[in-house]
Amino acid sequence: MKVGQELIDKVKEKIAIQEVYRQPEDQITITVDRNDLPEAVRILYYDLGGWLSTMIPNDERQINGNYALYYVLSMEGNKMFEGDELPQEQKCWITVKTYLPASDLTFPSVTLKVPAAVWYEREAYDMFGLTAVGLPDPRRLMVSDDWPEGLFPLRKDSMDYRHRPDPVDHKDEPDYEFMKPQGAGVLDVPLGPLHITSDEPGHFRLYCDGDTIIDADYRLFYQHRGMEKLAENRMNYDQMGYLAERVCGICGYAHAIACIESAEKAIGLEIPLRAQAMRVICLEIERLHSHLLNIGLACEVTGNMNAFMHIFRIREFSMELAQLVTGGRKTYGNVVMGGLRRDMTGDEIKKSLELLKTIEKQLQEVWDAVMDDKHQVARWKGVGILDKQVARDFSPVGPNVRGSGFKRDSRYDHPYDFLDKLDFNIPTEDGCDVFARETVRYKELLESISIIRQCFEMMPGGQTIITPQTMIKPEAYALGNDEAPRGENIHWIMHGNAQKVYRWRCRAATYNNWPSLRFQFRGNTIADAALIVCSLDPCFSCTERVTVVDVNSKKTKILTHKDLKRYSQSLKSHPLKNM
């Protein structure tokens, strides 16, 4: 039986499936009527053990006269307890697709049955004008508060997206309506998400009773670089690799890999084994310098500057390692269709193995010292709890979900490149708090060192690039996945004509991790707020400001970045004092 067929048959028992499409074999698309969309996604998500990886709205009027929605689920098992997981040979991706006629751009909201869909459905309206009927939070997500009504940037309507709105008078506060607590036990999903392709500030509001946070809301997306639109109009696939690498300053290589591999999979292009191994090496090097950055900052934000400096000293070795492998410390420009642009010499491999020994030895020494610091451990334990059921409802990824006991990792569930030839573990912790997430990162550092060492020792011979012989197939689509430091990255590409992309959807780890943050804030103190955000390891340039609201006195105070850090480092400080 083909992979995923048993799951498809179970959906057919309750939902009429109009079409089944496979490309590649483990990526299955089922087409359903839009009225059946919520129930089809719910069955796959909760009943059959799926996790919402991404959702792609698409303007396909030039192809079939309709708009389309693609809800992509990673079929792994619920993983709520040991053994609650699909066998490896049954794991796959299942996409639920539905068409919306151009004359009626509404569809029933999936969010009412699967909370993880909320940001995706808000984005579908902002970018395409597709309205999810019944969506609990219809507020704007990606476009500014003064964005003109009826203008949808990712539609294929000639030059409409170039429209420049008339100037407006900006107020001190935006027109955005922040959510306010309405009583205990109210599950209010909407939060302002952060798209990984934006380098932006954010406006946080913490609703407090004294010094205790009882709820939170935040507004992000103050900037948007329009990268998907840029790629669709001006770039070939090799140029897209360069663009995708600039999605994120920390995990740019992971984005380049996922982007290019989605294009490769759509045409069935298999790259050389040597290039596969080197791609894995580069991905794990990014995990090294990213996790070291986060652990260092989790110490620094609580005032432990000594640990921060020692960890950053070790991090410098990982940057040297990146330069040996790719020729660049951070911006690599190494990923192209068919493989890699640059190979390694035997001398570079030898030096890299020596650097790995240094990193491993010094990392273990510093981590042991941090664990001996009772004050540091106390600041991490019991803070920022991500409850297992909340995690299951919102599909977070990376150390954020593995710190809550879920063995979710794209390298493990959907191995790519050279990974199926390697031996490695996926660390998990059951603490659900900051301590658990940082412990997962430390253990993953050791696993990354092991993976890189294995790749060097098993390095295949031959070339690192092949020239694609298969022509791009218009309207063929596929997703590319990899495990970035912050979690699973998903890039989805539909090919167009003239060797151009028709639709590129970039979904990075942070996009799936933001929704659960609201629940992680609750019950903690303001002094812990910066630490909780740090443990999420979000990808955004800075926090613009935080507005603290005391629900009893109704007083408010806007905190700067320096204020928030000062409160985090001094538990005796109170932000509403002397107001």
Residues in the annotated binding site: 228, 248, 251, 539, 542
Amino acid at 302: T
Residues annotated in the binding site for Ni(2+), as ranges? 248, 251, 539
Q: What angle do CA 167, 170, 175 make, to 5 degrees?
A: 115
**What residues form DSSP beta bridges with 482?**
489
Q: Which residues of 17-33 are buried (b: 16+ CB within 10 A; e: fewer)?
A: beeeeeeeeebbbbbbe
Residues annotated in the binding site for Mg(2+), as ranges? 228
424 vs 454: CA distance, rounded Å: 10
CB 547, CB 205: distance < 8 Å: yes
CB 411, CB 424: distance < 8 Å: yes
480 vs 501: CA distance, rounded Å: 14
CB 438, CB 298: distance < 8 Å: yes
What's the chain's length in residues?
Answer: 579
Place of tokens 């951070």: 330
Assign residue 227 a region: left if phi > 0, alpha if psi is -120 to 50, beta otherwise?
alpha
Residues annotated in the binding site for Fe cation, as ranges? 251, 542
**What residues form DSSP beta bridges with 217?**
205
CB 441, CB 429: distance < 8 Å: no
Secondary structure (DSSP) of 511-573: HHHSTTHHHHHTT-BGGGHHHHHHHH----S---EEEEEETTT--EEEEPHHHHHHHHH-TT-
Place of tokens 């990526």: 27
208 vs 548: CA distance, rounded Å: 7
| 3-state SS class at 360 | helix
Give the CB-side neighbour count of residue 261, counting CA atoms within 13 A.
22
- CB-based contacts of 177, cutoff 8 Å, min separation 6: 139
Residue 360's nearest CA partner among 288, 427, 290, 411 is 288
CB 225, CB 253: distance < 8 Å: no
Summary count for the chain: helices (H), strands (E): 18, 16
- Helices 273-300 and 434-457, packing angle to 10 deg: 150
| 3-state SS class at 126 | helix
